[in-house]
Amino acid sequence: MSNKKDRINPLDVAMRQVDIAAERLKLDLGVREKIKQTKRELIVHFPVKMDDGSVKIFTGYRVQHNMTRGPGKGGIRYHPDVDLDEVKALAMWMTWKAAVVNIPFGGAKGGVQCDPKSMSLWELENMTRRFTWEIAFLIGPDQDIPAPDVYTNPQVMAWIMDTYSILKGYTVHGVVTGKPLELGGSLGRFEATGKGVFITAQEATRHLNIPIEGARVVVQGCGNVGGIAAQYFDRAGAKVIAISDSRGGIYNKNGLNVSAVLDCKKRYSCLITPEARAGVEITNEELLELGCDILIPAALENQITHKNAPKIKTKIIAEGANGPTTPEADEILYDRGIFVVPDILANAGGVTVSYFEWAQNLQELLWSEEEISDRLTRIMRKSFAEVLNISQRDKVDMRTAALMLGIGRVAEATKLRGIYP
């Protein structure tokens, strides 16, 4: 668990980002203040019966930031450090992310303060179902659609869908996305975020004339985002030289056997075994400073700061995590000529395919994996081109350009809808 005293408040970062983009866009002060504020914030404290018979009180959050462009959309995370400011920041970033890829969602986010690694499957199910009961009046296919996030997965979404459906009296597939296929999930959803990171990083290599084949890739995080992205880079002929989890990483300058490393993680909850090809154990801090062509921070927020940004030795950063780079670090990276594909663009593949899943549920359709892959690729490439165009036109970094695109679309929708009464 991280030391909260040393943590950078992600909400402060998110607010600063809005101010920077709003100045560039010359937004009206009233519109600026409206889009910075959350629409709703719910904090719940609820009891859960544990395996030993004791009752433990958990704290959970659901925040709806802005729903001007559509129902709220955003994941639910289980983590010891979850707090209200973090959830508010993540909900805000979801608003801009959905707008950047131009899908009809607003931004929302949720979380429960817990240590899922120390809990049994039974305890996780009990906690999930009770949390769902607490927030059920806020969520729904036309109101707010949760999805997996840090330490949540399709099984957790299945429990949420089932609990919500019991409360409604009928099955409601569209209340969550990222569900198992057997319960109305979408083909291509599991790998969507990692694939989106790969697509946008690949677009960056094309822009910078860097061959993807043989490119050295470093990945922080080996979950649904980092692990999937690593596999896509490996298949494309890139050389994944380092990868990590929350406890540390493994490095081999000649390239890792990605499949073996990820299989090791899946089977043994560790990255290093004899069959996973020889590698040197390194810390996450050391991993971020390795010499490479593409760096993928796909863990948690605030990993690249003013302290380590001068030591980053890469050509491209594609942000698989939400908020991994602080504003101070952004300035340093931009001045050093490092091309950053920001989170609200790079990891938008997840919310894009979540939109596909939601649309299929509402229409009772099932799209093929090929159709979903083609649609995702087109949207990610188009969004990258739009952000790059703003970056070059206004001579700003890619994050500012992405924020200008997303915030601009939300601001325009706000003006069109007006204020009632």
Task: Pinpoint the alpha helices (H) of 187-283.
Answer: 192-207, 226-235, 258-268
Cα separation of 266 and 255, whole Å? 20
Residues in Cβ contact with 3 at an 8 Å cutoff, skipping those fewer than 6 apart: none
Closest CA to 320 of 222, 249, 390, 398: 222
Cα separation of 81 and 78, whole Å? 9
Helix (H) or strand (E) holding 62: strand 55-66
Closest CA to 304 of 333, 281, 282: 333
Torsion of CA 379, 382, 388, 392, to 10 degrees: -160
- The active-site residue, picked from 73, 109, 179, 195, is 109
Look up residue 304 and give its DSSP letter. B
Cα separation of 95 and 107, whole Å? 4
Distance of CA 374 to the CA centre of its chain: 21
Residue-by-residue DSSP string for 85-126 = HHHHHHHHHHHHHHHHTT-S-EEEEEEEES-GGGS-HHHHHH
**Is 109 part of the annotated catalytic residue set?**
yes
Give backbone dihedrals phi and psi of 253, rounded to 5 degrees, phi first: -60, -20
Distance of CA 252 to the CA centre of its chain: 27
Catalytic residue positions, numbered: 109
